[in-house]
Amino acid sequence: MTRTSTFPEAAETAVDATRVAVSTVIFTLRRRAGSETATVAIPLVRRTRDPHEGLWALPGGWLDVTEGLDAAAARTLGETTGLAPSYLEQLYAFGDVDRSPTRVISIVYWALIRPDEIPDENVENVQWFDAAALPQLAFDHNAIVDYALWRLRNKVGYSRIAHGLLADEFTLAELREVYEAILGKRLDPANFRRQVENSGTLIPTDRFRTGSHRPARLYRYNQGVELADRGPLGIHH
Amino acid sequence: MTRTSTFPEAAETAVDATRVAVSTVIFTLRRRAGSETATVAIPLVRRTRDPHEGLWALPGGWLDVTEGLDAAAARTLGETTGLAPSYLEQLYAFGDVDRSPTRVISIVYWALIRPDEIPDENVENVQWFDAAALPQLAFDHNAIVDYALWRLRNKVGYSRIAHGLLADEFTLAELREVYEAILGKRLDPANFRRQVENSGTLIPTDRFRTGSHRPARLYRYNQGVELADRGPLGIHH
DNA sequence: ACAAAAGTGTTGTACGTACACCCATGA
DNA sequence: TCATGGGTGTACGTACAACACTTTTGT
């Protein structure tokens, strides 16, 4: 599969009007080869034209006049990386005058995707990076990723978004691993179990994950509980 | 002083490109005439042209190509209402295709202003409304205000933004009144005092507010503590 | 049998809430 | 002196961190 970077700031035709772009910071969890712990990873797209040709940038594209912002984020993410997120939320609108040679307002989203939803095939010009060790990115994208990571870590504390990174059924150890990767610290298994059990968001199943030592019970999410606390009218805050 | 509404969606020339507007929901506290409690109030601007001529709308205007988003919010707020907020933070980017007859992306900010900073003179076409009892507003502005109120109430719980509504020196009762107005419920004076004293954000002065019963000590804010937890690089989250 | 992860129990501390009570001032 | 808000003390319940301990599997 061949895809060319269509990233907003790449357009060569300079116009004097302000243009609106949409980009997405999409997170997943990667298990490192030899390591015990999982790490947060994001896909980047290599720029194939100026400005910043050759640098890595967030997947994105121009906003179409006929689509909403959320739809534009999902579409441009799909076109550049082939990914369809399980969770998508607006992050921030970046609009400093000097963030790009031409005036570009970027509405940036952040998203989660389950590891099993990532297609095996390699997409050209797309590469996954460890979020903790990014190269120099195009435009202000390093700062944007930092901000998205901050929001992710914040939100994991007061919502159940962590579940956007897991399959339908999972063990408590797997859920805990998600939290540990995002927060960057180990959590007490005993206390973690109680917290999450008392939150009412988990439904125990009759199935167990076997294969190593004592089998662990599989849990599902309680669909009646919102993934994240939206504000009034369903805006993803 | 005469000012004409320059609100974004008011422009009569239809263009096929997407245009970017900036609006602001700015809060203050008003003491109702006979009432014991203060209420949250916001200024609105009456629209003087289509669409939605005659309806009340959020103060705002078009984004200038040469200014950043924050600057645009402050400028358009000043031009339409004459107000200069003591706290300003981006709220959300609204971009549904059908939120206006022409395609308009609105970057919306929310802000706080101290009652003593509001000029006495009446500004034409501007009127203050009780945030809890708004009329029907233009466009999707009712929903936007709801969302801003939700953010305000949320944020008051984990930051010291309440201080954006007070003068330099204030009593604990005045600070508590701010919280009560925003949260819409009474707080225990004793417990409130301890919470805020233990937070380390307040500095007691030697001055007292006299005039009614026992004098109350005046406090200042500890400048070393951030008004609100910004993310990396000073973005107002 | 033993290692290792699953799962339970117990304890201490911190913090929010409710509410009784004393203090200082204006009228 | 009395009413009222300023300010202190205390007791209870919940929530979380730390950590000892039991259970169940694979090898």
| Domain match, A108 and A194 both | no
Domains identified in chain B, total number: 2
Instruction: Please state whether the peptide bond connecting residue A51 to the residue before it is cis, i.e. omega within 30 degrees of 0.
Output: yes
Please give the Cα distance from B42 to A82 (Å, whole number): 44
Judgement on whether residues B182 and B150 belong to the same structural domain of the protein: no
Q: Tokens standing for A59? A: 């997947």
The verdict on A189 and A121 lying in the same domain is no
Q: Are residues A129 and A196 in the same domain?
A: no
Q: What digits encode the pLDDT tens for the residues A175-223?
A: 999 999 999 999 999 999 999 999 889 999 999 999 878 999 999 998 7
DSSP string, B128-162: EEETTS--PBSTTHHHHHHHHHHHHHHHHTTS-GG
Per the model's pLDDT, the better-predicted residue between A234 and A89 turns out to be A89
Do B203 and B126 fall within a single domain? no
pLDDT class of A153 with cuts at 50, 70, 90: very high
Residue A228: pLDDT over 70: no
pLDDT of residue B212: 78
Do A112 and A213 have their domain in common? no
Whether A227 is in a domain gets the answer: no
pTM of the prediction? 0.90
In a domain, B101, yes or no: yes
- On whether residue B229 sits in a domain, the answer given is no
| pLDDT range class, residue A9, cuts 50, 70, 90 | low
How far apart CA B79 and CA B28 sit, in angstroms, is 18
3-class secondary structure, B208: strand
The boundaries of the domain holding residue B136 are: 8-155
pLDDT number for residue A160: 86
Chain B: closest CA distance from residue A139 (Å): 15
B51 and B108 in a single domain? The answer is yes
Tally of CA atoms within 13 A in the half-sphere of B73 that contains its CB? 25
Nucleotide D10 C1' to residue B190 CA (A): 12
CA A215 to C1' D26 (Å) is 10
Listed residue (B40, B74, B37) closest to B59, CA to CA: B74
The mean predicted confidence, pLDDT, of chain A is 89
pLDDT(A17) > 90: no
Q: For chain B, how many residues are written? A: 237
Largest CA distance in chain A: 65
Report d(CA B174, CA B178) in Å as an integer. Answer: 7
Q: Which residues bind near strand D, taking a CB cut-off of 7 Å? A: A 188, 190-191, 195, 198, 210-215; B 171-173, 189-191, 193, 208, 212-217
Q: What is the mean pLDDT of residues B16-25?
A: 90
Instruction: With respect to residue A3, please indicate whether it lies within any of the assigned structural domains.
Output: no
Tell whether B188 and B116 lie within a shared domain: no
Q: Which of B97, B120, B155 is the last residue of a domain?
A: B155
Q: Are strands A19-31 and A60-62 parallel, antiparallel or unpaired?
A: antiparallel
Same structural domain for residues A138 and A190? Answer: no
Burial class of residue B139 in the structure, from the number of CB atoms within 10 Å of its CB (0-12 exposed, 13-18 middle, 19+ buried): buried
